[in-house]
Structure 1
């Protein structure tokens, strides 16, 4: 799976990735594309930060993937559901006993995974913002990690290390607890100092660092529904749960739909903030992080496209259209892979 095929079909997506890197004020970027279980294109650019003596980005560089990490929490939950520790229809009040049970009401684990709880939860205070299952909201993987620990006695990291990372020999995926030379620094703004986000290794914080290759392998693990290297690492039903639409039918058809945190392509979605490109085939799924890191899985093309950046200067950047950018990346992935197949 390490052979790189050099083809002109990836020139446009590579040029776009470099252009976006500069527009985002990211010091570093990477691009890895897998087709039919082979790496067919890799690109690395820039450095770990903008200061003197910074290390060049290469295949060992680990980027903080920010919200892309929620799919790791999602897979751990899917494993727990398959193993019978949880069900999607469990009420979250069963586990979050410190919160007002009446306000939590009929909110379930399904609503948490598909971002439609209608709740605003901070510390031990909970408020209802909209009726459960009628709109979408931000992600709360920390709550799911807490529920998972109560149900299984294990952290997200423990479950994934035992069932994914160690069996597959992944060494460049970790919740960083201390600095090291392979970690890529965050760039907060054009004039800020670089930083690293360090935390616990439980798997519930925003300190997941992953190399571009291993994020692509993560997508490919989902694409193959757990069948890697001639072995079924995890039951395929786990991945079918995680990567197909699980949003309740009460969510309006025009709003984005989710698996276990993955955005899943649905032709009925028509809202302006859908993160999935217009050219992506139905059933494609993707996750995007605040630093610009993204993992896109396209089952109909048997392909995965991953890009990595280290800029948190995305939403404040008036020169960058966040949604249009991720649309462009997805659409270029489709056109490049289509040309590769011709």
Structure 2
């Protein structure tokens, strides 16, 4: 009997090995790693965004004086939180780290990177590299010069309303999103895109929109988005640590729709920049009018139809009469901007709620409520 079981096991292993051998490269990687992880920068090539002007956060007089209630702490634990941090009045008010992580650890931002790309678009517009959000994508990318794709403008990408055909599936090892995450030719993926619906018709969250924005930035500036971010953004906000942007291959393209890797303390600087309406130390890093447009409900191009929960690659939480812009990643990477408290909240971790309320994962409400309790 044991010999039969052993024989069957060997046959299964051989069968799976044959299947694995014939899979495309990206699917092999997906099967090998099974699920995305906050430490995935270790399995990818990366480009460094240098922290060439590091500044530590000053400490608030109330720094870590208040304890989080047990109910909130249990919720944080249940979603495998690695960092929870609050900056108030430009000073570090609260920080705690869990599961062996500390303030020096970098973490994948996942889709919170989309909000960073949006800020870079705003900078490029201010510099005249991009005319406006209404400039056609075809001005930058040859593959968008014919057919329905020629009608897409930058704003359609920013508001997730491009009509591009895309399979936003995270579980399937054969989806386009999996190919983008584990594959090695993002530019080919963008080049081969087709349109499934007219642009500016409706909101449909698709990561490829952000990847197209990254290619536009590269074309407009003549730099990689990592180099552009380092020069126009990262050093100006006094980031303490080098960040890493994961690439599709050696010397390749940034996975712009995800995969900006940094610390909780430096992610907080991104929120602080938005809280400051794009200003840092009296320098206007991102235009204030762009920040305003990016962090309020967006209108579809040429329409009065608005998206109540989304701006320009920033989510918007309508919470107790407040509009809270925030960046969000698939494993619960969040940067919240609490304008009424002059505060920024960062939560990093390994999972998030699978239940949603008004387009937002339910754990979002937990972190916002916990922050307001700590700020009382």
TM, length-normalised to structure 1: 0.73
Report the 3-state secondary structure (helix = DSSP H, G, I; strand = E; otherwise coil) of the residue aligned with 1:214.
helix
Flag the 1:10–1:243 CA change in 2: closer, same or farther, 3 A: farther
Flag the 1:123–1:166 CA change in 2: closer, same or farther, 3 A: closer
For 2:311, the equivalent position in structure 1 comes to 259
Contact between 2:119 and 2:286, CA under 8 Å: does it hold in 1? no
Q: Residue 45 in 1 paired to residue 106 in 2?
A: no
For 2:225, the equivalent position in structure 1 comes to 156
For 1:335, the equivalent position in structure 2 comes to 369
Tell me, in whole angstroms, the C-alpha distance in 2 between the residues paired with 1:227 and 1:123: 33
- After TM superposition, list the pairs within 5 Å mapping 1:210-229 onto structure 2: 210-229=262-281
For 2:83, the equivalent position in structure 1 comes to 30
Contact between 2:109 and 2:333, CA under 8 Å: does it hold in 1? yes
Flag the 1:335–1:81 CA change in 2: closer, same or farther, 3 A: same
For 1:17, the equivalent position in structure 2 comes to 76
Aligned-pair CA distance for 1:81? 1.1
Aligned-pair CA distance for 1:64? 0.6
Tell me, in whole angstroms, the C-alpha distance in 1 between the residues paired with 2:298 and 2:374: 32
Query: Which residue of the other structure, out of 198, 201, 208, is the alignment partner of 1:134?
Result: 201
For 1:291, the equivalent position in structure 2 comes to 331
Q: Deviations over 1:67-100 (max 9, x none)?
A: 1111111111101112222111111122221245
Aligned-pair CA distance for 1:288? 1.3
For 1:110, the equivalent position in structure 2 comes to 155
**Unpaired stretches in structure 1, ≥5 consecutive residues:** 22-27, 47-55, 179-196, 265-275, 315-319
Tell me, in whole angstroms, the C-alpha distance in 1 between the residues paired with 2:278 and 2:241: 19
Q: Deviations over 1:26-58 (max 9, x none)?
A: xx6111122222222212111xxxxxxxxx200
Tell me, in whole angstroms, the C-alpha distance in 2 between the residues paired with 1:45 and 1:282: 30
Contact between 2:246 and 2:260, CA under 8 Å: does it hold in 1? no
Q: Residue 166 in 1 paired to residue 235 in 2?
A: yes
Query: Which residue of the other structure, out of 73, 80, 92, is the alignment partner of 2:117?
Result: 73
Report the 3-state secondary structure (helix = DSSP H, G, I; strand = E; otherwise coil) of the residue aligned with 1:284.
strand
Contact between 2:67 and 2:374, CA under 8 Å: does it hold in 1? no
Flag the 1:19–1:63 CA change in 2: closer, same or farther, 3 A: same
For 2:180, the equivalent position in structure 1 comes to none
Q: Residue 323 in 1 paired to residue 356 in 2?
A: yes
Flag the 1:14–1:129 CA change in 2: closer, same or farther, 3 A: same
Aligned-pair CA distance for 1:281? 4.1
For 1:7, the equivalent position in structure 2 comes to 66
Contact between 1:112 and 1:144, CA under 8 Å: does it hold in 2? yes
Aligned-pair CA distance for 1:199? 6.4
What is the root-mean-square deviation in Å for CA atoms of aligned residues?
3.0
For 1:242, the equivalent position in structure 2 comes to 294
**Unpaired stretches in structure 2, ≥5 consecutive residues:** 1-57, 167-188
For 2:30, the equivalent position in structure 1 comes to none
Runs (4 or more) in structure 1 with deviation over 6 Å come to none
Flag the 1:9–1:29 CA change in 2: closer, same or farther, 3 A: closer
Q: Residue 91 in 1 paired to residue 136 in 2?
A: yes
TM, length-normalised to structure 2: 0.67
